Structure 1
């Protein structure tokens, strides 16, 4: 291994400790893609060079930097600098009370000339909008209170509306996630992970009790698991339809997540036959009725009969004059 490669790895190790505070040899080894013995050698080399890396013994041990040690060395290359503009979003940051614009300005000022130019070019050429089309973000009057509890690692008593009923529950807030313009709280309730839609939170009472944060908890991983569970909660029914090609984008938004790739939005022509999964026959009927004459259900026969009955009933209403 060349001295340059080792130096780059040691810089990465140092910056990782600076950002995360304390990490075990195993965590550092996985991050650097080396074995733990290599991590130990690199740490000894850093200590010999005067960097105050402290080894903490015990079950909760690892490595950390002593005395608030900070390094100005960032090692940000042009490609990494271009990615900096994607680290946050102005709107969501403002909802949390964060000054993203000021933070980005300071980050840009710390970069070298070439890296700074790449970051600016990225901001000029790419824009991230987390809100879905033809919709406004749901009102979240309790978001700031939840964000404060997350920052302070404090338990909260939520007033939460589910199915029109207000209930109260004590939870350990672990983090907030933004998905398609809507905020969700990831929390522990009685030791079990739960996900709460922030727009349904009516009240937040912060308690003088610390959050029992699971060891090794990573919000991004927890959110990925929660999302997967929500998207695969229902048993699906396979539905074969004849649909106009112009309606395919609307159809794709209606089917179950794991079947959306079956809808080819580059299809040409007038109509196409496609088989896609729906989260139950009732939802399939309601959703497909909304597409009107642009879709015809071919199978299963029970759903086709149900569509015919619902369509006929609706037509009968409109064949008579309104009272």
Structure 2
């Protein structure tokens, strides 16, 4: 444990050039006195670490010293897929492992390459989470990740449509899409997609998962998404919409209907858009209040009008 901590300290100084005792204490989750003892041990071993006191004090490596002990372990190698995605890595329980791998990768770079990487990190950032929301609780995520990693069949309890169902599945992979986790699995040889937040229990079985040799997670997810997004239209609704509601409205309709909704407009817009169900259309449009007027079909217009009148009566 101490050797790993001292290596992290050394590589951090190699990457950053300088760090205060407080910074190292927070990074290593130890006291500043322990940091000082580790520094003293490294210095006694011949590592040229210099410590300085005062407001600008801290620790630094002298003479451009570079260690070659930057080997990435197997667990760290697996975590490298999440570089730049610290949040999802944390959800999977890979946060500390990823940080160790990141430090080693940066430490292994030449000065010029490290500067290029630093400039890129300053100019580009990946944020897979959706706006105005916190991630859904996914208490079974790490358990499902274990089943995926070990290629083990699993018995899962899944809640969908208000009903709990138990299924035996062959987990194929986990996908993070717009801030939500999904499990891609095979059930009776057929591809299935499960929202991880709706999985309430996971039992790993002793049988190996039946993973097809040619299975491609990215391609499988793309097919699942396309199938969902191209579902048949249940109803089309003609609306008159105020321009400030267009971005919100665009997010309510299926992918195949989004090109009918302009991103911007200078006045009210009249358009006809599809919805995947009449129930969803009703409540989605009602939520837009007075910014939208339903023109057709007549049944939809009458229903929304009735709900508005009932709301007005309730509020006097």
Same fold (TM over 0.5): yes
Where do residues 127-276 of structure 1 align in structure 2 (5 Å cutoff)?
127-267=125-265, 269-276=266-273
CA distance in 2, matches of 1:123, 1:141: 31
**Secondary structure of residue in 1 paired with 2:101:** helix
Partner Cα separation in structure 1 for residue 135 and residue 240 of structure 2: 34
State how far apart, in whole Å, the 2-side matches of 1:176 and 1:299 are: 41
Counterpart of 1:93?
Answer: 89
Deviation of 1:201 (Å): 1.0
Query: How big is each residue's C-alpha offset from its partner over 1:127-164, in whole Å with a ceiling of 9 and x where there is no partner?
Result: 22222111111111111111111111011111211223
Instruction: Assess if the C-alpha contact under 8 Å between 2:140 and 2:196 holds in 1.
Output: yes
Distance 2:157 2:276 in 1: 29
Is 2:135–2:179's contact at 8 Å kept on the other side of the alignment?
A: yes
User: d(CA) in 1 for partners of 2:138 and 2:82?
Assistant: 24
Range that drifts further, 137-146 or 309-318? 309-318
How many residue pairs match? The answer is 235
What does the per-residue CA deviation read over 1:163-189, in whole Å, with 9 as the maximum and x for residues that have no partner? 232221111000000011111110011
Query: Match for residue 20 of structure 1?
Result: none
1:109 pairs with one of 99, 107, 110: 107
CA distance in structure 1 between the aligned counterparts of 2:84 and 2:210, rounded to whole angstroms = 27
Residue aligning to 1:294:
291
Q: What residue number does 1:38 align with?
A: none
Cα shift readout 1:172-220 (whole Å, capped 9, x = no counterpart): 0000000111111100111111111111111111111111111211101
Question: Where do 5+ consecutive residues of structure 1 fail to align?
Answer: 1-83
SS of equivalent residue, structure 1 residue 196: strand
Shift of 1:232: 2.5
**Alpha-carbon shift at residue 310 of structure 1 (Å):** 2.4
Q: Which residue in the other structure is 2:308 paired with?
A: 311
Shift of 1:259: 1.7
Are residues 103 and 262 of structure 1, via their aligned partners in 2, closer, same or farther at CA, if it must alter by over 3 Å? farther
Superposition pairs of residues 55-66 of structure 1, within 5 angstroms: none
Deviation of residue 112 (structure 1)? 4.2
- Summarize the alignment of residues 38-53 of structure 1 with structure 2, pairs less than 5 Å apart: none
Aligned residue for 1:254, secondary structure, equals coil
Contact 1:150 1:174 in 2 (8 A): yes
RMSD (CA atoms) = 2.0
Q: Distance in 1 between matches of 2:223 and 2:174?
A: 14
Asked if 2 retains the 8 angstrom alpha-carbon contact of 1:255 and 1:276, the reply is yes
Deviation at 1:88, TM superposition (A): 4.4
